[in-house]
Amino acid sequence: MQGVTKREMTMARPSTIRTVEARTIRVPLDSPTSFSTRQVHHRDYAVTRITTDDGVRGIGFCYGGSDAGSLVTRGVRELFAPLLIGEDATRVEGLWDKMYASGLLQGRAGSLMRSLSILDIALWDRNARAVAMPLHRYLGGYHDESVPAYASGGYYLDGKSPEALGEELAGYVALGFQAVKMKVGRLDPAGEEARIKAAREAIGPDVLLMLDANNAWSDLPTCLRFMDRYEPYDPYWIEEPFSPDDIANHARLAQNTRVPVATGEIEAGRWRFKELLDQDAAAILQTDAAVCGGISEYRRIGATAASYGVKLCPHWFHDLHVHLVGSAANGQFVEYFPDDQVLNFRRLIDRQLETRGGRLILPTEPGLGFDFDDKALDAFALDDWA
């Protein structure tokens, strides 16, 4: 209760925040996995929990990067936690502004905004649990029982042939998914075309095929050489073709290809997303609530996008984003990872989402609908709760 006065303790309501804790978790990948420009051997996650005077606890989490995830944890512990102790957990919007203003000098994006994001997620989770409502219903609800999803995979692995890629994606279709995603941009144009051709032949003409470039290109002419190879295979979108800071080239590409441009997974703050929309640089936003500023900021971004007629297909963490797509009219797809080989955060929680016919079943349990697996956290932790 450090930082709470005796008077505040006497007047404390059940929703008064008593503790804020965080720790860093590093989970190795079973096999090194490659994107267009980098390879990942392990993933760092920052996790947090907020407990109020009534004993109700909310949890938050984010991907802290392939290294130095402790930067996110330090932001929670050193900057934001002291601001929250003694505050009313139901005053989410006010606490968001308080944290954002406090962090202006340290950074309005990146690790510090992820620190803010996971605390905001924990507040929403706590408040939904306190009234025994699933988070998607607490947020207003839109879908009834399930939400549309696409199966995300198609990563580069040593020795993985185009035929093996096709078999992987066809396996997702066999599970009922009518939309799948694969990585692109690492090979030369001919090598990439061989992979996409194999993927399209394996899944058939009617399944949506999304392409994720992970910032592969730095100039428009090079990107268009690849797009010329991709377009005959009817991609549903091209994701993150350029650096997230290169909004101008995203807009130029959108003017020069019939393939919709999707981006925004590592953008933070509503203002950057409005810039993407104003410049027609993205037909689909991939806002990540664990990156952009939490559930509060995700909802603001989603409302802004709705006024432009743009839909959201949030990035990563299907356990979180099933609630956000489930509670908004312009949520189009949840990105779903069918196993724990890439999104190995799945190993850290005590319950997995159910799927049916390529859709995700909306949780009925309070809040996020799951908790951390304490034994798993301890097994992979770089530090203790503090």
Indicate the pairing of strand 146-152 with strand 57-65: unpaired
- The predicted structure's pLDDT at residue 4: 53
Which amino acid is it at 139?
A: L
Task: Locate the domains of the chain by residue range.
Answer: 6-132+374-380, 137-361
Cα separation of 216 and 178, whole Å? 26
CATH number for the region 137-361 comes to 3.20.20.120
Contacts with 160 (C-beta within 8 Å, 6 or more apart), sequence order: none
The residue ranges of the chain whose pLDDT is under 50 are 1, 6-7, 9-10
- The predicted structure's pLDDT at residue 107: 87
SS3 content of the chain, % helix, strand, coil (to 5): 40, 20, 40
Cα separation of 59 and 15, whole Å? 15
The reply to whether domains 6-132+374-380 and 137-361 share a CATH topology is no
DSSP 277: H
Grouping H, G, I as helix, E, B as strand and the rest as coil, residue 354 is coil
Query: What angle (nearest 5°) sits at the alpha carbon of residue 356, between those of residues 290 and 184?
Result: 55
CATH number assigned to the domain with residue range 6-132+374-380, chosen from the 4 options 3.40.50.1980, 1.10.10.10, 3.30.390.10, 3.40.50.2300: 3.30.390.10
| 104-141 pLDDT per residue, tens | 999 899 999 999 999 999 999 999 999 999 999 999 99
- The predicted structure's pLDDT at residue 11: 60
| 72-101 pLDDT per residue, tens | 999 999 999 999 999 999 999 999 999 999
Conformation bin of residue 181: beta by default, left when phi > 0, alpha when psi is -120 to 50: beta
- Spell out the alpha helix ranges (H) of 5-161: 6-10, 70-74, 81-84, 92-102, 110-130, 135-138
Entry pTM: 0.96
154 within 8 A of 169, measured Cβ to Cβ:
yes
